[in-house]
Amino acid sequence: MPTFHKYFPSLSLDKGDDDALFLSESPQVLFHQPFSICHLVSKILQPDNESRSLTCLSVTLVAKDRIFRAFPSNANETKASGAGKGGSKHSWSDMPKFLLAGAVSTALSRTCIAPLERIKLECIVQGSKHSWTEIIKWIWVSEGLKGFWKGNMLNLFRMVPFKSINFICYDMYLDHLLSVPEKEITNHDRLIGGGISGVIATVLCLPLDTIRTRLAAPGGAALGGVAGCFFHMIQNEGFFSLYKGLTPALISMGPASAVFYAVYDILKTSYVLHRKQCNDEKDIGVMRTLLYGAIAGACAETATYPLEVIRRQLQLQQSRNLGLAPTFIKLIQREGISSLFTGLVPSTLQVLPSASLSYLFYEMMKSILEIS
């Protein structure tokens, strides 16, 4: 965008002489850097006109990103910002790209941390009878190194659709909010968006998680894989047996997703705003993406882990369906309050790299696919 200071030297500016004044092409809008003031121009004369007078309507405290969404300076910005669609950044045609980004990032991150996922699940299935260090030794002796990746494909079968749906629902929710005029994204919006995306992904993908838990339990190998376990549960326990543990899953996954996205976005936004205040547009970078993802994942995991344990116990029930409260009470009576945190250490160790790598790969895939 060309600078128009030299064309309109008599124009009174609220900022200092060092501020720059820019003109966008369509519609006619003057930007007063650092974009705290936007001049909506009703008439602009040619630069060689002698009077060089302007008729302006000033609007104060307009966010830079909102200005560029509402008033793009060229065709490229129009396309990128989704102008003509209420300021929305994305269209539904971007959904396959978001799904692909979520799927690839999940597959890569989950494969990297598969050993910790295996240890966590064994801790929950076997209860507090064995420590997580004993479980590591047992896996190594009985199955060797490859045993730590046992069930990884089944885990990807569950997690790839879950995380893909989770990512896309969260991004689309924030995109919808950005399409509302004069709307600024708040921490409350991030919590709600994370909770909604977690609930939707949980409802759609819980049957896959139930099947995986059954196959990992003692005797699960005799069920004949995913298809065999699916038909066995349908025939012997009914369709809704696939949704055992739905209540604690919703109670845990919703808040977990809300905490994760909220903490990550708060950390990321705070860093970006700090860099802008320092007049440094430096990108957040790989290391900070890893760090913020790890912090967000640890907060979410610790806050909701007891519900994760109860959910797994409900999924392991075959003939009896005790429900959330009876399962909770029985678990406490049988193994004590510490049983609610069985496997928390390997789970947290698993979540830290998982959350970090997941968000890192997701941001990388969005960059490769040219979505933001």
Q: Determine the straight-line distance between the first and last CA of the chain, rounded to whole angstroms.
A: 23
Domain hosting 54: range is 21-81
Single pTM value for the model: 0.54
Residues 313 and 363 in one domain: yes
Q: What is the CATH number of the domain that holds 265?
A: 1.50.40.10
Element (H, E) at 278: none
Report yes or no on 40 lying in a domain: yes
Residue ending a domain, among 58, 81, 104, is: 81
Instruction: Say if residue 73 is in the same domain as residue 109.
Output: no
Tell me the per-residue pLDDT of 88-97, one tens digit each, with 9 for 90 and over.
555 567 778 8
Assigned token pair, 68 = 């560029």
Enclosing H/E stretch for 39: strand 37-43
Predicted confidence (pLDDT) per residue in 33-88, tens digit: 444 344 443 334 344 444 444 333 333 333 433 333 333 333 333 333 333 344 45
What is the SS3 assignment for 55? strand
Residue the block writes with tokens 């490229």: 76
Q: With beta carbons less than 8 A apart as the criterion, state whether 154 and 205 touch.
A: no
DSSP one-letter code for 20: -
State how many domains the chain has.
Answer: 2
pLDDT in tens, 110-158: 888 888 888 877 877 776 677 778 888 988 999 899 888 887 887 788 7
Domain identity same for 155 and 283:
yes
Q: Are both 51 and 102 inside the same structural domain?
A: no
247, 350: one domain? yes
